[in-house]
Structure formats: structure tokens, C-alpha cells
């Protein structure tokens, strides 16, 4: 630790050390519980007598700033009651940071302010939450993964912990090439780029294709964080409405006749928030229109593994004869979101540009994580895990749909998800899901208001119910509470001013 | 696996399956060594008789496309000799991807082409390479880290593998707050943003502050990948020349009087490529000029841990009274580059914007990696490791400097590094380090030509020698070879057309 000492001052050195530490503790620069340096160590680094440091520590302990544990050392306790916070010296020439922000940062700021202004507080105990669009961590194969991690560090640690080529860990890329063939998607290992989850996929695609002022066509409703990324690069979003069969081909074609978007973004399988899957003829129609108009399709490929029907649909990329599709895959849904591991499959000229963008963004994705996931997959542990969670999520979906049928007023409708983690409910005309959320939270149930999934902020009658992380036994009770809230609201509609948006994943 | 079967065709189903697999193998979509699905599994997914699949596999084995291992299954062998590659069906309407690229992607492409055009081949065995600016993986504390990883997955796996808040793992941020105090840098845990190595730090700062057409002031020579990132956001670079004491304050002030850069980027401690450290009065002069002109300073903080002098210098951020400095820290040098783990400390208004940019870029950095590094640090294993490697790198530096003194012609000069991994050599007038590299490789020694470290492509007389990853026993011999190459070149200068640039870290 560096403590500026003034040996010419009349203030004793011990007192100077003490005052400096008090200031650091009050400013939370030294947090409670932090161990102070050993007296000998600090004395040496400051060039003072050890007794001087010991005296300073004793004073701190005596006044309640620190606690001494014999044989262990001296630990920060926090400022004693009544200690005045020292005023930070004001900056003489503070920078005006907002004047320095880039256009992108200003867009992100205003998007973020909108979300923050409407963010709910923490959800209290006892609330049944359908709001989190994540897998259930109670189902994680944590221990098996720990063993895989252990093995790869033991066997290849040195090379996995060194700088690594940007494309990714070759065995994982080979595994993915074979894995994707299950869904009919043909990609060579060297055409697969490993990225930090699908979020980084959006980002790399956006920075490679978008300039300020460009347009992006996007199905509606859609995943909010994809919209945010495209907007942050200065793009405007053009909505293509969906129905139960997928994005409407006629609407897409009309749009392409009038405008030239840089690409079209969609989630054909297990769509978030609806859980719906695109019909084969709709997929073919979209691809034909895209190729005719020379517009790339960015496919956010929640893959066929978490599909609850008889046979998962083919990804658009598997049907793509013209090389227009860029595919984004992820391990966040089928394995662990926290690994931040996903991949891109792009036509070669674009793939090379995405690789260059990835290298500039963060050099490469942790090879250690890649190798551990590969080891886990190679042992067929992923297949076993996915079979287990798909069965569980299918049960939860069935329970949720049954509960909605039983508990909801007749004029409430919802999508019937064939995959994924969630479904979308539409409330009767006149109700606003955002405005209703505070009442729902009070009644003990949480959800995600649907407005965030719409490009044009319509959709205020909708809400997303995610069933993936709600224990099966709580689903019916959660829906019962929600039904009550909806019924009560029809008698006394909430004022839209109260509208609240939950964080979305 | 999905195999399209046409039951109306006169071709038997087994033959159709066989032909499909042959195509996948030839196109390397099924790589040698990959296990084909079990016959029962594939038969079920295709809705055919198991014998049909078995027949297809037998034919593949008979013709040499696959190998059967009794009890294990059938494995891809690769296309048999003489098998003709099937022509890929041409895309009817191929996209013109280059017309779709963003401005940023085009900048990155032309930067990349320049580098590629000059890239050397693989370095052959026996070459002593001073070219890699990375830590020596032979010194990695791999096993201790494996144990830390194991513990945190065991104890907190479920939460570490789920989505995580963007700021980072709180105990690691608290550890860093205390760690940075050693160097006099005061930051609260909540002001520290965890990122994927310093490369992502550059990227987040650039996207938060830079618009196309902006200028960035940058010390010269400097780290090439930082330049690439700033350029990719459309910025132009303004060079501030360095001398042995750091970036020249007079040059910086003259620049600020004429132009308004968005920020000034520098590496004050253990500078790459020179290994030099900024003098205290120069640091103060730069900060005063920056504050006066309201220009932020981006400090790439190769921290004081790998400093070989008596006492590491204070980071600029520790001297910053006006809140103009953004500090970038990394575990890549002191621990493992492959973890991709670093951090940013920024003044609060900017810190919030950087956090928002990080969230859009990839949601968060793996909490698992953060927790493992925290566990490792908390046990003081980082301190012990750093003490060990600093001693070793200091010895290698001493060996290198002694060898240069002994072996180099008199008109060759070099910097005397006080920290870091490398030093910069300047060849006599008339020699070009890039042009000389092929001869050096032939003679069995590699280095990084210095031109890449210059904003204006000057510096062709310089070359970087990195001592961190060269075993101490090989340094003298490497310098001996280099000395011979230089002496030979003075008799017969290389033609600049041969110039070659090595990849730079």
C-alpha cells in the first residue's frame, strides 16, 4: 500500500498513517472485512519503523475502525458510528463526459433510461416469478461439468490458459459441425466462429454490417436485447409482424419492395417470447424473398434440442440454398448461460469479417471454457442433459397451458409453445400488462410485460410467462394469482402511468 | 442426423443414405474420426428399417469412406483415394457481401490485408523466437488454479453458471479495489468493471467515446492492437512521440493547441514495446495538459507488479486529481492471458456508460473465471506467483541486455526496460528490420519488426525483442545470431520489398 507521508510536517508519522487509512475506510476504498497489510510489510514499504505502523493500527482498533484478531492480523471494521465522511477534494477542472460520448453511447443511454425509469424493485419472497427467461439452475449438471473442467486443465492447462487463435478450440468446432448436422445444418468446423454467447454474435454482426442510418428488418414481437444492439449501431428497426406460422411473408415482401434493410433478424425455432416455431413453407417463402432482394437473414437459432413436438423443424440455415443466412447458436439455453459460449456460422466472405471483428473485440473466447464444454459434449453428457431438461420443461409447459385454460377469463389468449422457455399472453382490450405489474407483484406473481418485445412499443396488452425456471408445483398457483389480478383489473383498469417493465432475458 | 430421402425415386433408400454421407465426408462436413450415429438411432430418426442403415454403412466401409470398430460403431475415415469432390450446387443468387460491409468492417479489412500481405510463415524448429509478447506458459501456476476452479464450482457452481450481473463478481471487485491501493490507485469496488481482457477495454472505451472522424492522440511507438481498435471506429490517430522519460509533454501540448482529440492513449508503466516507465514529472505534465484541455487519458495499466526496479511508479490514475483518467487493468500478464480477464476503472459518469456498453457487447464476463481468479488471489497465490515470475523475467532481461552489449555492433541501440516483457532495438541507419526478418529466420532467430508499433509506419529501423517467453539459456545464442544478421546486412542491405511483419501481441 502506498501512503504519502510528509516527514517535515509536525504531525507524527503514525497519525498520518492512521488518518490515511481512516479516509480510505470512510470512502469505502477499504471495505469492511479487508485485511490490512502486516505491520512489518507496510513498515518496510513505507520506510518507517514497524512500531510506527503498529501504533497506527492500535489507534484504529481503539476507535473502532478496525478489529485485531490475534495471530491473524488487523481487519477493516468500517467507519465507527458518528465518523464524519471526509469531503472528497473537488476536481479543479472536472470533465464534461456527456459532451464526449459517442453517438452509440447516447443511443444506449436513452434506451437504458427508458428501461430504468420503468424497472421494478426487487421481487419479495413468496412471489412466483414467470419473469426470468433463463434455464432453471436447479437442473444444472454442475458436478459433471466440474469434472470435465478439471480434466481439461490437468491435461491441456498450459495451452488453454495461453493466448489462443480467434476462431476457437478446434475439437469444439468439429463437435459443433457434427452436432448441427442433426438439424440438417451443414457447416465445416473451420466455418464456425466461437463467440461469447449469442449476445456477442449480435454485436459482431451489427458492427460488421451496420452503419448509422441503416435499417434492419425484424420480426415483431422479438428479443429486446437484439433490438438494443442494432439500435446502438445507429440502425432504425422495421417491424415484420408475426402470426402463429412465423413472420408474415407478405409483410416481409411488401417491406422489401419499399425499403432496403441491411438484414432481417428472426428466431425461427422456439421464438422468444412466444415459444412458436416457423412453418416450413413460411421459412421457404422468407428465404426466397431474402435471396430475391439480396437481403441477408440473421437467424437466432435457439436450436432444435429444446423442442417439445415430435420432430424439430430445420433451421433456416439448413434450407438456405443461396448463402443468405447467418446462424447464431448458443450453449446458454441447453447448458449454462453463465459460460457465455455461443457460435456463428456465416457464408465464407462474411465469416472472415466476423472473425476479424471478434479479434478486435476481445482477441478470443476463453479456450478453457471451450475445452471443458467440448469434453462434456464428447462424453454425450450434453445429450443426456438435454433429454432430461427437455422432458422437464415440456412438463412445465403442459402444466402452464393447462393452468391458463383452467384459470384465465375467456377473453385472455396465449400462444402454445412448441419449444423454448416461454409463451405470450394477450390480455383483453383495455388492459395494460405494464400497468398491471405492480398489482401482480403485490398479489405474489411476476411476469415480463410484453411492450419491450415490440419494435413500436405496441403490445402493451401482452405479457410473457416463462415456465423454464418456475418449479412445476408452483405454476398452477402462480396462474391462479395472475387470473385474479386480471379479473380484478377488468373491474378497475390500472392507469397506464403506473406501467412497469421487468428486466428481460 | 437429417437425411432427405425420396421414397418415390427408383434409387434404393440405403443408396440414398450412402450417397448423402459420402457427400458430407467429401465436403469435410463429417471430419475423419467422427462417429456415425448408431444404426438404430439413425433408422429411427429417418423412419426406415435398421437393416437399410446397416447396409448403407457396410457399403461406406467397403469403399473406404468409413471404418467399423466392433462394439464401438462406425467412424468416418475420409474420402477414399480417387473419390471425386462433388461440385457444390452453385448459389442461384449469391449475395455480394462486400457491398454490405459497414465502414468499420472495411477499415478492419484493409488493416488486416496490410498485416496479412506481410505475414511470415510458421517458424521452423530450432528458431529462437523473441517475437511473442506473452508470458511464458512454462511458468504458469496451472495446478493451483485448477484447485481454485474446482473449489468455486463445488461451492458456488449454480450461481456462477447462471446469468450474472454485468459489473462482475463482487468479491473479485473488492479484491481489486484493495490490490490497486498498493499502487496508490483509489477505486471503490463498485467503480470497477470486469471485462474480457484489456482488448475488450479498448473496444468498450472506443465505442463509448468515438465517432467516425474523431481523432485519438496516441504515444508513439505504441501497442498495435489498440491502434487497430481506435481506427476501426473511424478515428484518425495523432502521434505523440516518446523519449526515455515517456510521451513528450511539449509535443502533447503543441498537439492539444492545434487539435481536439477525443482522448489520449498511453502505457505509462512497462510500455510495450520499449519496456520503459514514465518519469513522475512527465506524468504530472501530461495530466495537467489533459485537464487543461479537457481531454481524457486512457491509461493501459500494465501494473506495477512486473516492475524490475526498486519501486514501481504510481499509475497516472493514482495522480489524477481532475478525474480525467480511465484505467485499464489485466490479468493477462501477471497470470493467464487465456482467461481473458481484465478490468476498467473510470470516473463515475463514464463508468456507467461503459457498463451499458459491456452489457450490450456480451452481457457479462464468465463469473466462473472471475470467482476462480478471486479464490486464487485471496489465498495470496497471485502474490507468490508474481514474485516468482518477476524474478525470472528480471533475470531474462538482464541476460538479454548483457548479450546485446556483448554481441551487437556499436551503432545498434536499445531501450533498457524497467518492467514488462520486451525492449526495442534500433538498427543503424539504412537497415530495415522488416526486410531483414527473412534472413533472421533463416539464421534461426525471430523478432517483431518495429514498424507496426508506429502510427505513421516509420520505425522501420526498429525491432522488438521480447524476453518473457525465451528460456534464459537461449537468449545469448539468439542475440548472437541476430548480431550476425545485422553485421551481414550492413555489408549487403536487404531490399525493402522483402519486408515482413510478424504477428504482434
- Do the chains contact at A338 and B163, CB–CB below 8 Å? yes
Contact list in A for residue B363 (CB cut-off 8 A) is 196-197, 199, 225, 340
Q: Which DSSP category does B342 fall into?
A: E
Which of B150, B159, B363 comes nearest A199 by C-beta? B363
Whether residue B299 contacts residue B343, with contact meaning beta carbons closer than 8 Å, is answered with no
**What does the pLDDT read at residue A302?**
75
- Do the chains contact at A100 and B296, CB–CB below 8 Å? yes
**What does the pLDDT read at residue B45?**
85
Contact list in A for residue B233 (CB cut-off 8 A) is 102
Q: Where in chain A is the domain with CATH 3.40.640.10?
A: 140-379
Contact list in B for residue A66 (CB cut-off 8 A) is none
Contact list in B for residue A338 (CB cut-off 8 A) is 160-164, 366-368
- Do the chains contact at A138 and B158, CB–CB below 8 Å? yes
- Do the chains contact at B291 and A146, CB–CB below 8 Å? no
Task: Give burial (CB, 10 Å; 0-12/13-18/19+) of B379.
Answer: middle
Which of B196, B291, B353 comes nearest A196 by C-beta? B196
Cα-flanking dihedrals φ and ψ of residue B181, to 5°?
-60, -30
Whether residue A153 contacts residue A368, with contact meaning beta carbons closer than 8 Å, is answered with yes
**What does the pLDDT read at residue B34?**
86
Which of B140, B225, B367 comes nearest A338 by C-beta? B367
Interface contact B162, partner A, CB < 8 A: yes
Q: How confident is the model at residue A53 (pLDDT cuts 50, 70, 90)?
A: very high
Surface of A (115-154) touching B: CB under 8 A? 134, 137-138, 140, 142-143, 145-146, 149-150, 153-154
Surface of A (448-487) touching B: CB under 8 A? none
Which of A28, A197, A323 comes nearest B94 by C-beta? A323
Instruction: Give the pLDDT confidence of A417-451 residue by residue, as tens digits.
Output: 999 999 999 999 999 999 999 999 999 999 999 99
Which CATH code of 1.10.132.20, 2.60.40.10, 1.20.1280.260, 1.10.10.10 fits the domain covering B13-76? 1.10.10.10
Q: How many residues does chain B have?
A: 505
Average pLDDT score, chain B: 91
Whether residue A14 contacts residue A59, with contact meaning beta carbons closer than 8 Å, is answered with yes
Q: Which residue has the higher pLDDT, A491 or B250?
A: B250
**What does the pLDDT read at residue A499?**
46
- Do the chains contact at A98 and B349, CB–CB below 8 Å? yes
What is the chain B residue with the closest CA to A88? B321
Contact list in B for residue A103 (CB cut-off 8 A) is 211
**What does the pLDDT read at residue A374?**
98
What is the chain A residue with the closest CA to B26? A188
Q: How confident is the model at residue B360 (pLDDT cuts 50, 70, 90)?
A: very high
Which of B4, B92, B294 comes nearest A322 by C-beta? B92
Which CATH code of 3.30.70.1280, 3.40.50.300, 3.40.50.450, 3.90.1150.10 fits the domain covering A108-133+384-498? 3.90.1150.10
Q: How confident is the model at residue B110 (pLDDT cuts 50, 70, 90)?
A: confident
Return the SS3 of B4: coil
- Do the chains contact at B294 and A200, CB–CB below 8 Å? no
Q: What is the mean pLDDT of residues A131-140?
A: 93
Which CATH code of 3.40.640.10, 3.40.50.300, 3.40.920.10, 3.40.1280.10 fits the domain covering B140-379? 3.40.640.10
Interface contact B296, partner A, CB < 8 A: yes
Interface contact A105, partner B, CB < 8 A: yes
What is the chain B residue with the closest CA to A206? B102
Decide if pLDDT at B36 tops 60: yes
Residues A430/A431/A435/A440 CA torsion (nearest 10 deg): 160
Percent of chain A with pLDDT over 70: 93
d(CA B411, CA B413): 6
**Which helix (H) or strand (E) element contains residue A381?**
helix A381-407
Decide if pLDDT at A8 tops 80: yes
Percent of chain B with pLDDT over 70: 93
Contact list in B for residue A374 (CB cut-off 8 A) is none
- To the nearest whole Å, the CA of A106 is away from the closest chain B CA by 8
Instruction: Give the pLDDT confidence of B471-497 residue by residue, as tens digits.
Output: 999 999 999 999 999 999 988 765 554
Whether residue B241 contacts residue B247, with contact meaning beta carbons closer than 8 Å, is answered with yes
In CATH, what is the architecture of B108-134+384-498?
A: Alpha-Beta Complex (3.90)
Whether residue B210 contacts residue B234, with contact meaning beta carbons closer than 8 Å, is answered with yes
Report ipTM for this prediction.
Answer: 0.91
**What does the pLDDT read at residue B490?**
87
Q: What is the mean pLDDT of residues B201-221?
A: 97
Q: What is the mean pLDDT of residues B79-99?
A: 75
d(CA B356, CA A288): 37
Instruction: Give the pLDDT confidence of A254-313 residue by residue, as tens digits.
Output: 999 999 999 999 999 999 999 999 999 999 999 999 999 999 999 998 777 899 988 888
Q: What is the mean pLDDT of residues A52-64?
A: 91
Contact list in A for residue B207 (CB cut-off 8 A) is 102, 104-105
Instruction: Give the pLDDT confidence of B418-476 residue by residue, as tens digits.
Output: 999 999 999 999 999 999 999 999 999 999 999 999 998 789 999 999 999 999 999 99
Contact list in A for residue B323 (CB cut-off 8 A) is 91, 94-95
Best CA proximity match to A332, nearest among A118, A505, A100: A505
Contact list in B for residue A105 (CB cut-off 8 A) is 207-209, 353, 356-357
- Do the chains contact at B181 and A369, CB–CB below 8 Å? no
- Do the chains contact at B97 and A353, CB–CB below 8 Å? yes
Contact list in A for residue B193 (CB cut-off 8 A) is none
Instruction: Give the pLDDT confidence of A400-421 residue by residue, as tens digits.
Output: 999 999 999 999 999 999 999 9
Q: Where in chain B is the domain with CATH 3.90.1150.10?
A: 108-134+384-498
**What does the pLDDT read at residue A408?**
97
Interface contact A505, partner B, CB < 8 A: yes
Contact list in A for residue B291 (CB cut-off 8 A) is 92-93
Q: How confident is the model at residue A503 (pLDDT cuts 50, 70, 90)?
A: very low
- Do the chains contact at A150 and B149, CB–CB below 8 Å? yes
Decide if pLDDT at A152 tops 60: yes
Q: Where in chain B is the domain with CATH 1.10.10.10?
A: 13-76
Instruction: Give the pLDDT confidence of B121-175 residue by residue, as tens digits.
Output: 567 889 999 998 899 999 999 999 999 999 999 999 999 999 999 999 999 999 9
- To the nearest whole Å, the CA of B311 is away from the closest chain A CA by 9
Q: Which DSSP category does A209 fall into?
A: H
Cis peptide bond upstream of B221, omega within 30 = yes
Interface test with B, best of A161, A193, A230, A235 (most B CBs within 10 A): A161
Q: What is the mean pLDDT of residues A338-361?
A: 95
- To the nearest whole Å, the CA of B233 is away from the closest chain A CA by 9
- To the nearest whole Å, the CA of B492 is away from the closest chain A CA by 37
Instruction: For residue A301, give every residue at least 6 positions away whose Cβ sits within 8 Å of its Cβ, in sequence order, or none.
Output: A267, A268, A269, A315, A317, A327, A328, A329
Q: How many residues does chain A have?
A: 505
Stated pTM of the model? 0.91
**What does the pLDDT read at residue B79?**
83
Residues B344/B262/B318/B246 CA torsion (nearest 10 deg): 110
Q: Which residue has the higher pLDDT, A83 or B212?
A: B212
Average pLDDT score, chain A: 91
Interface contact A186, partner B, CB < 8 A: yes
- To the nearest whole Å, the CA of B81 is away from the closest chain A CA by 21
Return the SS3 of A137: helix
- Do the chains contact at A181 and B2, CB–CB below 8 Å? yes
Q: What is the mean pLDDT of residues A4-8?
A: 88
Instruction: For residue A258, give every residue at least 6 positions away whose Cβ sits within 8 Å of its Cβ, in sequence order, or none.
Output: none
C-alpha angle A397-A402-A405 in degrees, rounded to nearest 5? 130
Contact list in B for residue A505 (CB cut-off 8 A) is 163
Q: How confident is the model at residue B362 (pLDDT cuts 50, 70, 90)?
A: very high
CA B484 to each of CA A42, B460, B478: distance values in angstroms, whole numbers, following the listed order: 49, 19, 10
Amino acid at each position: 500500500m502506498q501512503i504519502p507521508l510528509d516527514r517535515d510536517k509536525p504531525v507524527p508519522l503514525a497519525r498520518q498513517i492512521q488518518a490515511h487509512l481512516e479516509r480510505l475506510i470512510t470512502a469505502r476504498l477499504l471495505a469492511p472485512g479487508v485485511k490490512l497489510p502486516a505491520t512489518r510489510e507496510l513498515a518496510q514499504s513505507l520506510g518507517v519503523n514497524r512500531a510506527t505502523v503498529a501504533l497506527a493500527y492500535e489507534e484504529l482498533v481503539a476507535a473502532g475502525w478496525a478489529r485485531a484478531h490475534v495471530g491473524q492480523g488487523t481487519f477493516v471494521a468500517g467507519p465507527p458510528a458518528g465518523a464524519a465522511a471526509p469531503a472528497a477534494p473537488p476536481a479543479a477542472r472536472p470533465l464534461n463526459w456527456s459532451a464526449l460520448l459517442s453517438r452509440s453511447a447516447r443511443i444506449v443511454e436513452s434506451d437504458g433510461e427508458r428501461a430504468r425509469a420503468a424497472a421494478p424493485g426487487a421481487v419479495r419472497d413468496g412471489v412466483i416469478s414467470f419473469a426470468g427467461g433463463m434455464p432453471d439452475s436447479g437442473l444444472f449438471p454442475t458436478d459433471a461439468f466440474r469434472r470435465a473442467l478439471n480434466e481439461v486443465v490437468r491435461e491441456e492447462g498450459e495451452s488453454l490458459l495461453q493466448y489462443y487463435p480467434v476462431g476457437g478450440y478446434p475439437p469444439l468446432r468439429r463437435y459443433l459441425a457434427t452436432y448441427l448436422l442433426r438439424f440438417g445444418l451443414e457447416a465445416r468446423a473451420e466455418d464456425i466462429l466461437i463467440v461469447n454467447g449469442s449476445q456477442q454474435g449480435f454485436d459482431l454482426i451489427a458492427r460488421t454490417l451496420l452503419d448509422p442510418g441503416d435499417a434492419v428488418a425484424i420480426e415483431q414481437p422479438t428479443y429486446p436485447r437484439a433490438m438494443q444492439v442494432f439500435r446502438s449501431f445507429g440502425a432504425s428497426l422495421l417491424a415484420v409482424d408475426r402470426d402463429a406460422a412465423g413472420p408474415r411473408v407478405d409483410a416481409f415482401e411488401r417491406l422489401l419492395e419499399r425499403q432496403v434493410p441491411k438484414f432481417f433478424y428472426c428466431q425461427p425455432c422456439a421464438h422468444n417470447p412466444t415459444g412458436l416455431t416457423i412453418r416450413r413453407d413460411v421459412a421457404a417463402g422468407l428465404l426466397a424473398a431474402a435471396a430475391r432482394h439480396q437481403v441477408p437473414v440473421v437467424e437466432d437459432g435457439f436450436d432444435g434440442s429444446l423442442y417439445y413436438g415430435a420432430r424439430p423443424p430445420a433451421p433456416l440455415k439448413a434450407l438456405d440454398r443461396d448463402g443468405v443466412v447467418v446462424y447464431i447458436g448458443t450453449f446458454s439455453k441447453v447448458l449454462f448461460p453463465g459460460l457465455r459460449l455461443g457460435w456463428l456460422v456465416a457464408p465464407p466472405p462474411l465469416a472472415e469479417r466476423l472473425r476479424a471483428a471478434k479479434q478486435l473485440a476481445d482477441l478470443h473466447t476463453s479456450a478453457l471454457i471451450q475445452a471443458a464444454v467440448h469434453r462434456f459434449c464428447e462424453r454425450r453428457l450434453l445429450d443426456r442433459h438435454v433429454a432430461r431438461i427437455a422432458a422437464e420443461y415440456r412438463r412445465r409447459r403442459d402444466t402452464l397451458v393447462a393452468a391458463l385454460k383452467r384459470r384465465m377469463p375467456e377473453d385472455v389468449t396465449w400462444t402454445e409453445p412448441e419449444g423454448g422457455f416461454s409463451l405470450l399472453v394477450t390480455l383483453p382490450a383495455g388492459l395494460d400488462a405494464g400497468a398491471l405489474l405492480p398489482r401482480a407483484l403485490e398479489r405474489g406473481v411476476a411476469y415480463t410485460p410484453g411492450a419491450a418485445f415490440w419494435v413500436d412499443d405496441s403490445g402493451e396488452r401482452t405479457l410473457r410467462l416463462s415456465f423454464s425456471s418456475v418449479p412445476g408445483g408452483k405454476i398452477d398457483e402462480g396462474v391462479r394469482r395472475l387470473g385474479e389480478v386480471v379479473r380484478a383489473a377488468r373491474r378497475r383498469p390500472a392507469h397506464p402511468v403506473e406501467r412497469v417493465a421487468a428486466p428481460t432475458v
